[in-house]
Structure formats: structure tokens, C-alpha cells
Amino acid sequence: MSTEMKRRIFLKRSLAAGAVGVAAGAGLLTPQEILAAWNKAAFEAKELPSALNELLGVSDHEASADINVKAPDIAENGAVVPVTISTSIAGAESITLIASNNPVPLVANFKLGQGASGFASTRIKMGKTGDVVAVVKAGGKLYSAKKEVKVTIGGCGG
């Protein structure tokens, strides 16, 4: 590729990026469009590997002892299951929370920003007994840990 061509491509790209920035800044884009960051395909995936692939770009994950999943052994009410994940893996970029037997297995993805510790806590719904899986992304690789939670009353049905 000649230098001339590269220069053209570069110009094109920077112009395109500039235009999007201006549009967002001027409030031309609705919140829905800005939300394009919300990964629809990943959150609609019915299988865990495809959800991970859509969300994080990789689906292979290895079990790690450096991730701690804190959840009750038995959840009496599947509609509210408190889950806390903490990890000591250096350079953790994100913590993904999965309830493997839910109709939509991918529950939440916490992207750790500047200075954030490897810690996230929330309350999730669980349709039935199953594993709560935490996947931590660090350095392009995925590490995981899981804990089985027995659910006596499901939280996903009507």
C-alpha cells in the first residue's frame, strides 16, 4: 500500500470518528444510540460460551482459586440472591456474573475503571438451582470460579 493510500484511509477514519463525537456532544444521538455499548447479542445468548464470546471476545476460561464467589448455599427466595465477588488477580479488567440455569444466563458485567478493586456485589434472580459463575478478565484471558446455589422458590417465573 502506498503512503498516499494510507494517508487517505487515516483521514477518512479520523473524520468519521470526529463526526460521531460531535453528534454525541451536540445531543443529536438519543440515549438509546449511545447505549450501543450495551451488548445486546451477549445478553440475549442462551448458552454460556456464546455469551462470553460476544461479550469478552473469548469463551475459554480456566478455574482460578483467586476468585471468591460469596453466595448463600440455599436461597429461599430466588428473586433476591445476594452475590459478592472478589478477586486478587492483578490487572483484572472486568467481572462477569452468570447464573448458569437462568433463561438469560448472563446477569451482569462489571467493567472495572480507573483504580477500581476486584470487587463487585449485587443481588440477582435465579430461576432454579444452579451454579453462580464469576468470570474475571485479566490480560486477555478469562478466569472463573463458581458456587452452587440451591433455590427453593424460583425468581424468574410469573
Query: Hey, what's the cell of 59?
Result: 469463551
CA distance 108 to 104: 11
Q: How far is CA 92 from CA 55, 86, 118, in A?
A: 15, 11, 6
Stretch that binds another protein, among 3-11, 13-21, 118-126, 145-153 (CB under 8 A): 118-126
Other Cβ atoms within 10 Å of 10 Cβ, number: 10
Residue 32 binds to another protein (criterion: CB under 8 A): yes
CA 118 to chain centroid = 14
Task: Write out the binding residues for another protein, residues 130-149 only, by CB under 8 A.
Answer: none
Residue 3 binds to another protein (criterion: CB under 8 A): no
* Nearest to another protein of 14, 117 (CB atom): 117
- Judge whether 107 and 120 are in contact, CB under 8 Å: no
Stretch that binds another protein, among 58-66, 111-119, 135-143, 146-154 (CB under 8 A): 111-119
* Nearest to another protein of 55, 145 (CB atom): 55
Q: How far is CA 30 from CA 33, 34, 41, 64, 132, in A?
A: 5, 7, 20, 41, 35
Residue 87 binds to another protein (criterion: CB under 8 A): no
* Placement of cell 454460556 in the chain: 48
Task: Write out the binding residues for another protein, residues 40-79 only, by CB under 8 A.
Answer: 43, 79
Distance in Å, CB of 120 to another protein, minimum: 5
CA distance 122 to 42: 20
Determine which residue in the list 8, 23, 28, 121 makes contact with another protein, applying CB under 8 A: 121
Distance in Å, CB of 24 to another protein, minimum: 14
In the complex, which residues of this chain contact another protein (CB under 8 A)? 30-32, 35, 37-39, 43, 79-82, 84, 99, 102-104, 106-117, 119-125, 155-158
